Amino acid sequence: MTRLSVNINKIATLRNARGGNLPDPVKAAVDIERFGAEGITVHPRPDERHIRYSDVRAIRPLVTTEFNIEGNPIPSFCDLVAEVRPDQVTLVPDAHDAITSNAGWDTIANREFLTGMCSRFKALGIRTSIFVDPNPEMVHGAALCGADRVELYTAAYAEQYSENREAAVRPYLEAALAAKEAGLGLNAGHDLNLENLAWFIRSIPWTDEVSIGHALISDALYLGLQNTVAAYLAEIRKK
């Protein structure tokens, strides 16, 4: 069964726009789990424009399902991960000024660096996942780096879905098969939503986890957070 991990960055973005602590990302994390989500994802960036390092520290002891921290493994990020010991760390190559993640790792060119990162985190008992484009070569490269999983960057799938969903998912299926062949677990995330999620899972049913934030929090403005979590879980479980 594919797990739903909810990225709560956008809740922190709304809080930071006004100051204070409304809405409270820590309370949101607890409530989202209570509403049925099987994981919480955060993506702290150096400028702390949404999730702050202090949020990560406050959330960690409260998560009862799975805690996933994603981000660029700069020294401060690595120190934070080592301190709070999440269940999973997802390595993402985003620049410090990126609005959002926009590409996966070149696991061939960065093999030495990523191997070191995977070794460091696995020694702490943390599952490691590498964010990659839907390219079998990059997937196999992640396996050579010692990763436990890959997370497929699904922006291109979301962009092409309405035009031709079979064509949109094809490269992801090829990458997912490469992951299975390499013995890697499989995650997916970026721009998955209530329209395109079920087809992705139906096409690649061995997906271990989807990480969804922006679309889910946006839908919650209309549906309410509890109803939205339920709606995403229903899409994942569609036959």
Catalytic residues: 43, 70, 190
Q: Which residues, including other chains, have CB under 8 Å from residue 95's CB and lie 6 or more apart?
A: 72
Beta bridge partners of 40: 6, 67
For the chain, report the end-to-end CA distance as a whole number of angstroms.
12
Half-sphere exposure of 36 (CA within 13 A, CB side): 13
Q: Counting Cβ atoms within 10 Å, is residue 20 exposed (0-12), middle (13-18) or buried (19+)?
A: exposed
User: Which amino acid is it at 107?
Assistant: T
Q: How many residues does the chain have?
A: 239
**Residue 28 parent element (H or E):** helix 25-34
Q: What is the largest CA-CA distance in the chain?
A: 48
